[in-house]
Structure 1
Amino acid sequence: MSDDDEDSKVRLEFGLPADASGYQRHECPSCMLEFKVKGNEARFNDTVAWWTSRAIAESGLVETQSESSSSSQMTCPYCAKPADAQSFLYGEYRSYVYRIAQREIVEPMVFGMLSNLNRTVSRRHRGMVSLRIETASETRSPRPIAGPDPDDMVRISCASCDEHFKISEGWSGAIRCPSCASELQIS
């Protein structure tokens, strides 16, 4: 990797809310029901990186490679439909990741491009009519914050894969483990 490649990388460090027991909220893209899964750093990093890349791509500032799917799959405990792990990211968390990506990556890119354009125009038009592009402010938007998630739902352990997750209180009947898709009975 060249120094230019290294200079163009941005490292973001932030977390998504978890409840007091360390479970993060998810939402099924099919049935829209919520559940929680014990924090998994690899799945978390993969999901956040995917949504951050998507937010940057949607800004239109950089060309991106075609969207690739996540390497990890999850299964909805309620409707048993599988999908890429990033599809299960809770809607409020998706919005939070988008706002972080906008503030930490997209806004500095826009300000940098405008600054470069001003320098280029200033050099080319010295002694002629002056042209200056001004932005309303080069102050970045406030950094979004996310508070703790309520410690709700009923804890379930999967004997097949040792995954720990939570489902809505009052749910009865069969459920699936989000990690291994094993069918579990709630009594």
Structure 2
Amino acid sequence: MEHDTTLRFMVSLACDTREFFRWQCPHCGLDFKLKVDADATQDVLASWMSRYLSTQGVKDQDDTESITAPTLTTCPYCGTASERQDFVHPQVAQFIRAFAFREVVEPLVTKMFRDFASGIKSSKHLTVKASFSEARAQRPLSGPEPDDQVVILCLACRQEFTVEESWRGTVACPGCQTVLVPQ
């Protein structure tokens, strides 16, 4: 009988009370929010988790075909268009790194040292002692997310998004790139 060794995690990230999730433009560095689309957000965050784990030497055995095609997103402020994962907010990226380290990397390192210590036999000429702490890093928390931006509805595509209340210029719809003049 073959056992499924795929690790699956439930990760909760905070959105504001209006169900908007924070993103940040990689070009201008300004924050905006998009209405939560659970499937699209899951694909973006799964991509980030996979990317981080690969930098830690952990192979992602998940079926990458289950992740949908990247969603093109436009920054409402500067108009930069790129894949949605390029807009992942630095705090979200840090949360994902901390979560992946605690839930995947730490247990692998602990197992490696436990197996190392048990696999070496002492003799009269060689004594091996290995000690390590199995204490885990603190579980990262996400939120709360403030309702700190103004909601804009694009009349062309009906997408809702938010921008900084102090923004006084035109904005581009993150979905259809229509240029809007907020009132």
TM over 0.5: yes
TM-score by length of 1: 0.85
> Alpha carbons of 1:90 and 1:156: their partners in 2 closer, same or farther (altered >3 Å)?
same
1:26 and 2:23 aligned: yes
Question: Contact (CA 8 Å) 2:43, 2:68: kept in 1 or not?
Answer: no
1:1-187 equivalences under 5 Å are 3-4=2-3, 6-7=4-5, 9-60=6-57, 62-63=58-59, 71-122=70-121, 125=122, 129-135=126-132, 137-187=133-183
The 3-state SS of whatever aligns with 2:27 is coil
Gaps of 5+ in 1: none
Structure 1 residues 15-62: Cα deviation after superposition (integer angstroms, max 9, x where no partner): 2111111111111000001111111112211121112112212223x3
The 3-state SS of whatever aligns with 2:79 is coil
TM-score by length of 2: 0.87
CA distance in 1, matches of 2:96, 2:42: 12
Moved more, 95-104 or 83-92: 83-92
CA distance in 1, matches of 2:123, 2:79: 66
CA distance in 2, matches of 1:112, 1:44: 32
How many percent identity over aligned positions? 31
Question: Contact (CA 8 Å) 1:70, 1:84: kept in 2 or not?
Answer: no
Structure 1 residues 102-159: Cα deviation after superposition (integer angstroms, max 9, x where no partner): 001110111111122222224xx46762313221x11111101122111111101122
The Cα of 1:172 is off from its aligned counterpart by 2.7
- Amino acid across the alignment from 1:160: A
The 3-state SS of whatever aligns with 1:10 is coil
Tell me how many residue pairs correspond in the alignment. 178
> Alpha carbons of 1:127 and 1:44: their partners in 2 closer, same or farther (altered >3 Å)?
farther
Moved more, 158-167 or 29-38: 158-167
Gaps of 5+ in 2: 62-66
